[in-house]
Amino acid sequence: MAPISTPQTPFGRVLTAMVTPFTADGALDIEGAQRLATHLVDAGNDGLIINGTTGESPTTSDAEKDQLVRAVLEAVGDRAHIVAGIGTNDTRHSIELARTAERSGVHGLLAVTPYYNKPPQEGLLRHFTAIADATGLPVMLYDIPGRSGVPIDTETLVRLSEHPRIVANKDAKGDLGRASWAIARSGLAWYSGDDMLNLPLLSVGAVGVVSVVGHVVTPDLRALIEAHLGGDVQKATEIHQKLLPVFTGMFRTQGVITTKAALTLQGLPAGPLRLPLVELTAQETAQLKIDLAAGGVEL
């Protein structure tokens, strides 16, 4: 049974988009995934995104996705919201993944904007509605035009929010003005999908974060949110500023690459990357160590 949800926080407040650990030969590391999920929940995450982009979903098979979700559910499903990434640029495939995820017992779905084929807003509306119609699970939209090529317009978000199972949005649009209007008009539970903007988005109505840096600084993210909720603006700002080197360092290159490097430096399960992603160079690893240390991360 999933942890308690409310309409305001349907998936909790601090979620990490978890990497997918692989063995040295590039196979799925199920035991490592369970250990990493346990570590992240112990650190303070009340939700995990499995099979998102940070989980290298473009290069894992449908069978691997199902196996991974089931393993994480077994490890921490009674202590955290387990949300399965099921978004693709093929509506039929996304529906298949959603139904498979529902059978596994996950607590929710993350559906990214279809990428590369650049559908119009009516196409987005029909795509997300079809996914939400396909299962009984709550859905978090994922708006990331920098990768998908198409933003979810505010009017589309408002229309989608009328669906009883579309309950949240992960915002990686990087536009606080548009976010403010969409939060006010849609009533969706808003989650920051851009770590550098966690505090600014909280200030305009976000309820939590879906983080990449949560792999290494979950306690700080929890403290930031709690300070914000408690009205301690100064403390929240101090934590935000403390984490600036981490926010910067973890995105000097593609985030999965740096995250797996950081986890490896900490002795946690990560393993290699699948092409086309590649490992950090020695120089990049040295810079990552500097950035993490500047943000208070112990290696």
Binding positions for pyruvate are 54, 210
Q: Which tokens belong to 46?
A: 């009340």
Q: What is the dihedral of CA 134, 120, 151, 186, to 10 degrees?
A: -60
Which helix (H) or strand (E) segment holds residue 208: the answer is strand 208-211
Q: Which is it for the CA torsion 68, 99, 120, 168, positive or negative?
A: negative
Which candidate in 170, 173, 191, 260 is catalytic? 170
* Cβ proximity of 55 and 49 under 8 Å: yes
Q: Which residues pair with 140 in a beta bridge?
A: 110, 168
Query: Which amino acid belongs to residue 179?
Result: A
Annotated binding site: 54, 210
CA 284 to chain centre: 24
Cα 141 from Cα 231, distance rounded (Å) = 28
Active site residue 170: yes
Cα 75 from Cα 41, distance rounded (Å) = 10
Sorted by sequence, the CB contacts under 8 Å of residue 34 that are 6+ apart come out as: 71, 72, 74, 75
Q: Which tokens belong to 99?
A: 């139904």
Which candidate in 115, 142, 173, 260 is catalytic? 142
DSSP string, 107-153: SEEEEEPP-SS---HHHHHHHHHHHHHHSSS-EEEEE-HHHHS----
Cα 102 from Cα 137, distance rounded (Å) = 7
Active site residue 116: no
Active site residues: 142, 170
